[in-house]
């Protein structure tokens, strides 16, 4: 009986640790680089500007971080997705 209770407690604790991670991964997968670009970046900038500002992923992360510290409301997860999108589409 004690063993059964111990197994149940371990299972509950393990699911409590794993469940939030599953939701975080799902949220990240739902973020779409093109949609974020259109929603966040094109709100203030014109699309041709990005063709002139090509950069590698690291450069885009630095640019997006600077924007994030300023007036651009993007989360850290969105920043990562945007950096990938910009590097793929407007990379060096």
Rounded to whole angstroms, the Cα distance separating 49 from 51 reads: 6
The pTM for the full model equals: 0.65
E strand or H helix at 30: helix 2-30
Rounded to whole angstroms, the Cα distance separating 5 from 68 reads: 48
Summarize pLDDT for 48-63 with one digit per residue, the tens: 888 888 899 999 999 9
Rounded to whole angstroms, the Cα distance separating 90 from 73 reads: 21
Summarize pLDDT for 61-80 with one digit per residue, the tens: 999 999 999 989 999 999 99
């Amino acid at each position: 009986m004690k063993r059964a209770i111990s197994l149940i407690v371990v299972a509950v604790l393990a699911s409590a640790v794993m469940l939030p991670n599953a939701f975080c991964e799902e949220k990240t997968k739902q973020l779409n680089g093109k949609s974020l670009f259109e929603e966040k970046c094109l709100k203030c900038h014109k699309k041709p500007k990005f063709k002139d500002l090509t950069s590698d992923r690291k450069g885009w992360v630095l640019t997006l971080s600077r924007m994030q510290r300023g007036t651009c409301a993007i989360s850290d997860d969105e920043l990562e997705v945007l950096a990938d999108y910009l590097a793929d589409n407007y990379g060096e």
